[in-house]
Every structure is written in C-alpha cells, then in structure tokens.
C-alpha cells in the first residue's frame, strides 16, 4: 500500500475544522519553519527534496523558487494556482474541499520562504462552494495566530486572499492567471520577462499549483532526505491521481511513483480494473492535453519494459510511443470507446477555450474541430486525415502559451496510434453514425458540417 503524505488525514471526521486539524498535527511545519529555519533554508530543502510541480509541467519547485528576484523595497507575491480546469483532473478540488488547512499550512510556509506577505489563491470559478471552505479555513488560521501580523512572534506578516476566476481554461496558464488577478482579460503574456522577475503588478511572483504547495508541508515535517526515499529517480514523493473513465473505482488516489501502470489500473487498491469486464483500449494519462496511449504502450514501453506511474516512465520514448504525467488526470477508455469521437470532443473544448491571441491557435483549433466533426459525422474524406495532421503540426510550438500544444497533441497522438479508426469513419460513414449515434444519416443538432 502506498504511503500517504497528503490524504492520510483527509477522512478524519471534522478535519475541515481547525481544532481537529491542529489536534492531528496540523501547522507543525509552520512552527518548525518559522522558529528554526531561515527562508533560504526552506527553499534549499524543497530543492533537495526533488519536488516537481504537480500542475502539469513537472518543473522542479525549489529551482523555480530560487529564480525569484529579490530587489530591495519591492514586494514579492505567491499565487496558488487553483484554477483546475484541465478535463479529467479533479485532485486539487479534493484537497481543498476535504482538507483545506493543509493547503493553508503549505501556503504559510511557502510564503515565508519566498518573502511574500500577501498571498493569493486563484480558484476556478466553477468551484464556487469551495471558496467558502477556504475562507473559513483562512479565518480560523488567522484567529489562531497563524496568519496576520508577527506570526509566532517571528516578525513575519502574511495574509491570504481567495480570488475566484470566471471559468476560463486559459487562466490556468500562470501569466494569464496574473492578468486576470490584476482585473484584466486573461491573455497570456509574452515571456521574458518571467513572473519571477516581473509578475503580479510588475513585482517578483511565484505561481504554484495546489498540490505542489500542499506537498511542502510533509517535506518540512519529514525533511528532504526522508521525502527523497519515497518514489523513484527524479519522481520523488507521492502524487495525486484523478482516475476516471471506464473503470470500476473512479476517484482520487495518492500513489508512490514506483508502482506500475498495470497495477494502478487493475489492482483493487486503485482503479479496480475495467468496468463491465471489458478490455482496456487506451488511456489519456495526464489530463486531456497529453497524448493518448493505446493499451500496449500504456502498460509497456516500446522496448517492452514495464511502464510506471511517474514522470520519466510515462514519457519514455517521446510522443511517438510515450505521453506525460501532466496534471495526473488519468482517463481510461474501454474497447467500445470511439477515439475519433473523443478527439472531436477535445478539439471542440480547446477551440472554445482559446483566447484568440495567437493566430495559429485561434484559427487552427477551429480548423481541427471542423475537420474532426466532418469525419465523425460521416462527411469526411481520406485527405482530411492528412490535412488534420498538417494543421496540428503548424499549431504546436507556434503560440505564446501551451494551449496550442495542448490542442495539437491529442489530435497528433490519436492519428499516430489510431489512424485505422479515422479511416474506418471515412470509409463507413453510415455504419459509424448508426453505431455511435443511432442515426441513419448525418443529423448533428448543433451546427451543420462544413462542406
């Protein structure tokens, strides 16, 4: 059984309330950090721990902190990115809803390390009910001396504010988030300058994901050396996985990153196997923006080696035969699922969520959606498959932020691994419509297909 560092106390009765959380050892990392460690020591400890950002990119957290500029007389800011908008990902919601004080504790320690006296939680607009949960936890922490002025008599001051977004996927990108927090349209910024130099209100800023900041608590409590013993290689510590799709036990799981994908999918401790006794067809292992993997490449690498639930193993072989850990949104598809249909759904999402700032993304996502719609609804041509490949290739790497890549990668991987399905849709339009929709001919109720 995997060791639990974040969710161990999540189901203790009343853990959402301060008194219970404190009784269970809560805020001990704040005591340790503020009373016996200098800010730079905390950053060094996080760096030594090997903690990687849990929001998607997996960039080393301590290294990111070390980039923060520290000009004299200029305020610094820490922003918690709680804009969990990646389809298939819901582990940050789980943390905030069930054990909010863990996030608040991580924020206080991280704010102290970074010298941030005003820290913000930018939360997804659809998580409206969690805003009250977080604000109550913040109020309780402040009432008990963990926030405010002169915390624990150390001279450190810190306030935490919750800021709801308006439901834009693009605001999960850190510079778009900063723009939104400043009251502007959430468009990504051109980098450089990076937020560590010129972020919120042109001041040095660090943006970290909810799970990343919560993980600072066990790192300080255990020490970097102990944290390093959990996991494997450069994938240290534990990772929260949002598992959904055609599995028997969907939910949020905390894993040590040395277990195999096969164990995660089929063991009763985790997903419990494929629902209805069906066969595994494919999986999107890191949220909707990462490449889909067919069953053979999900369970084994191209070299026939066991695939593990960690950053290195899931990406082994590059996008030709691998994928990414991403945000940990593990979406399982059984043998009856249509890859073309799911790819069209994702293309529709990314077209809708593009901010429109970059023409390759603004125009390209629309092209991909229309082409996929034609193929899915019996109006496709064989040449459309190559056109679709060409369009996604011209989006990837040609936009200010990663949304263009996020839109292109699922399309590229679907064609790479399931081209036969695309061809079947083109060659068997009536059978496809009947199988997927019960239709005898094209009849999409939303908008007509492009001629």
Whether residue 444 lies inside any domain: the answer is: no
Say yes or no: 276 and 357 in one domain. Answer: no
Say yes or no: 189 and 170 in one domain. Answer: yes
Whether residue 4 lies inside any domain: the answer is: no
Whether residue 151 lies inside any domain: the answer is: yes
Over residues 249-268, mean pLDDT: 96
Q: Single out the residue of 320, 365, 322 nearest to residue 344, CA to CA.
A: 365
List pLDDT tens digits, range 146-192.
Answer: 999 999 999 999 999 999 999 899 999 999 999 999 999 999 999 99
Helix (H) or strand (E) holding 77: strand 76-82
Q: The tokens of 145 are what?
A: 């001396």
Task: Single out the residue in 187, 206, 229 at which a domain terminates.
Answer: 229
The answer to whether residue 438 scores a pLDDT higher than 80 is no
Helix (H) or strand (E) holding 314: helix 311-314
Q: What is the pLDDT of residue 443?
A: 53
Whether residue 289 lies inside any domain: the answer is: no
Whether residue 27 lies inside any domain: the answer is: yes
- Angle, alpha carbons 347-308-312 (nearest 5°): 75
Task: Single out the residue in 197, 214, 229 at which a domain terminates.
Answer: 229
Give the total number of structural domains in the chain.
Answer: 3
List pLDDT tens digits, range 27-53.
Answer: 999 999 999 999 999 999 999 999 999
> CB of 61 within 8 A of CB of 212?
yes
Whether residue 205 lies inside any domain: the answer is: yes
CATH number at residue 268: 3.10.20.600
Q: Model-level pTM?
A: 0.93
Say yes or no: 421 and 343 in one domain. Answer: yes
Q: The tokens of 345 are what?
A: 């759904």
Domain assignment of residue 319, given as a range? 234-281+294-333
The SS3 assignment for 118 reads: strand
Say yes or no: 148 and 267 in one domain. Answer: no
Q: Single out the residue of 338, 316, 433, 337 nearest to residue 379, CA to CA.
A: 433
Whether residue 392 lies inside any domain: the answer is: yes
CATH number at residue 402: 1.20.1440.230
Q: Which residue has the higher pLDDT, 302 or 263?
A: 263
Say yes or no: 223 and 81 in one domain. Answer: yes
CA distance 120 to 124: 13
CATH number at residue 56: 3.40.50.11540
CA distance 385 to 78: 45
Say yes or no: 224 and 107 in one domain. Answer: yes
Whether residue 9 lies inside any domain: the answer is: no
> CB of 188 within 8 A of CB of 195?
no
The SS3 assignment for 187 reads: coil
Mean pLDDT of the chain: 93
Say yes or no: 251 and 345 in one domain. Answer: no
CA atoms within 13 A on the CB side of 114: 37
Say yes or no: 107 and 124 in one domain. Answer: yes
Over residues 351-370, mean pLDDT: 95
Task: Single out the residue in 212, 229, 246 at which a domain terminates.
Answer: 229
The answer to whether residue 139 scores a pLDDT higher than 70 is yes
Say yes or no: 55 and 150 in one domain. Answer: yes
Say yes or no: 71 and 204 in one domain. Answer: yes
Say yes or no: 59 and 168 in one domain. Answer: yes
CA dihedral (187, 193, 199, 203) positive or negative: negative
Say yes or no: 303 and 379 in one domain. Answer: no
């Amino acid at each position: 059984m995997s060791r639990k560092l974040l969710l161990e106390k999540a189901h203790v009765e009343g853990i959402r309330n301060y008194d219970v959380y404190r009784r269970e050892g809560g805020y001990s990392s704040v005591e340790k950090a503020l009373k016996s460690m200098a800010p730079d020591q905390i950053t060094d400890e996080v760096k030594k721990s090997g903690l990687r950002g849990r929001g998607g990119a997996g960039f080393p957290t301590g290294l990111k902190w070390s980039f923060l500029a520290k000009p004299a007389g200029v305020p610094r800011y820490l922003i918690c990115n709680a804009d969990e908008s990646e389809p298939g990902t819901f582990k940050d919601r789980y943390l905030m809803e069930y054990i909010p004080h863990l996030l608040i504790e991580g924020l206080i320690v991280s704010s102290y390390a970074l010298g941030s006296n005003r820290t913000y939680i930018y939360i997804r607009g659809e998580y409206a009910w969690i805003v009250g949960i977080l604000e109550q936890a913040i109020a309780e922490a402040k009432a008990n001396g963990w926030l405010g002025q002169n915390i624990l008599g150390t001279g450190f001051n810190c306030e935490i504010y919750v800021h709801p977004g308006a439901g834009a996927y693009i605001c999960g990108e850190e510079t778009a988030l900063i723009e939104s927090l400043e009251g502007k349209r959430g468009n990504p910024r051109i980098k450089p300058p990076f937020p560590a130099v010129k972020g919120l209100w042109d001041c040095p800023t660090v943006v970290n994901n909810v799970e990343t900041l919560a993980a600072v608590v066990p790192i300080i409590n255990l020490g970097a050396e102990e944290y390093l013993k959990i996991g494997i290689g450069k994938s240290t510590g534990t990772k929260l996985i949002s598992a959904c799709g055609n599995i028997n036990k969907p939910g949020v799981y905390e894993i040590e990153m040395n277990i195999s994908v096969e164990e995660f999918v089929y063991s009763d401790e985790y997903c419990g196997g494929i629902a209805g006794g069906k066969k595994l067809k494919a999986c999107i292992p890191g949220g909707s923006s990462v490449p889909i993997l067919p069953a053979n490449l999900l369970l084994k690498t191209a070299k026939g080696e066991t695939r593990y639930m960690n950053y290195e193993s899931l990406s082994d072989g590059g996008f030709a035969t691998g994928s990414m850990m991403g945000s940990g949104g593990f979406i399982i598809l059984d043998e009856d699922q249509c890859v073309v249909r799911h790819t069209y759904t994702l293309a529709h999402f990314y077209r809708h969520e593009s901010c429109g700032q970059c023409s390759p993304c603004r125009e390209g996502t629309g092209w991909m959606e229309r082409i996929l719609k034609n193929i899915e609804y019996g109006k496709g041509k064989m040449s459309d498959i190559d056109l679709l490949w060409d369009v996604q290739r011209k989006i990837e790497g040609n936009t200010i932020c990663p949304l263009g890549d996020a839109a292109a990668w699922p399309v590229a991987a679907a064609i790479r691994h399931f081209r036969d399905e695309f061809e079947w849709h083109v060659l068997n339009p009536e059978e496809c419509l009947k199988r997927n929709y019960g239709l005898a001919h094209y009849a999409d109720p939303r908008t007509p297909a492009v001629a």
